[in-house]
Amino acid sequence: MLRQRVCRMQHSRATMTVAMTPEDALRAQPDTAAPYLASRSLAGCPVHVLREKLRAVGLRPTRQRTSLGWLLFAKGDRHISAEILFEEAMRARVPVSLATVYNTLHQFTQAGLLRELAVDGAKTYFDTNPSDHHHFYIEGEDRMIDVPSDAITVAQLPSLPEGMEVSRIEVIVRLKPKGA
Ligand SMILES: [Zn+2]
């Protein structure tokens, strides 16, 4: 009963202000609450939803995964680099190294929670929306905008190497300001 109340309070705080850091969230929801995850009464709580989401893909919801997952997924669909996520973690006082951020992003990607988007050789973004879609990439701003999958039709493909089939087609349309 108490847990339920704490969770509801935390949920409304998170929704109203989005000011709560992952560490705040975890303090409000200690790991001991984990066995109660399946309880229907906790279904709307973002930390519980996140922990369930991790468990559902076979990842143990450790403190670091939960903190980084909170930063990644609590703000809706977005495209984020490891460096930006690391900066956000520092600002939120989540004690992680850049290497841990990289590892966690790759674990989330392998588990299907994120999609990795290689824009340039040096630039990799992680998309919190892993469903099929394409992207606009705005050069100079390092910004990606989602394009629905049915908005682009690839009319012709070269013949595929023997024994291969198309796994997925991802289109990145690179944009620049007119006249630039
Ligand atoms: Zn996207």
Per residue in 1-23, pLDDT (tens digit) is 444 444 544 444 443 334 556 66
- What is the dotted CATH code of the domain comprising 2-118? 1.10.10.10
- The CA distance from 153 to 171, in Å, is 10
| pLDDT for the residue numbered 47 | 87
- CATH 1.10.10.10 domain range(s) in the chain: 2-118
- The CA distance from 78 to 68, in Å, is 14
Cα–Cα separations (whole angstroms), residue 128 to 70, 113, 115: 11, 7, 7
| pLDDT for the residue numbered 38 | 41
Q: Residue 36 C-alpha to ligand 1 middle, in angstroms?
A: 33
Average pLDDT over residues 142-171: 92
Q: Residue 90 C-alpha to ligand 1 middle, in angstroms?
A: 24
| pTM score of the predicted model | 0.72
pLDDT digits (tens, 9 = 90+) for 57-99: 999 999 999 999 999 998 889 999 999 999 999 999 999 999 9
Confidence of residue 122 (pLDDT cuts 50, 70, 90): confident
Q: Residue 76 C-alpha to ligand 1 middle, in angstroms?
A: 11
Q: Residue 169 C-alpha to ligand 1 middle, in angstroms?
A: 13
Q: Residue 132 C-alpha to ligand 1 middle, in angstroms?
A: 8
Q: Residue 125 C-alpha to ligand 1 middle, in angstroms?
A: 9
Average pLDDT over residues 144-151: 94
Q: Residue 2 C-alpha to ligand 1 middle, in angstroms?
A: 39
- The CA distance from 46 to 38, in Å, is 13
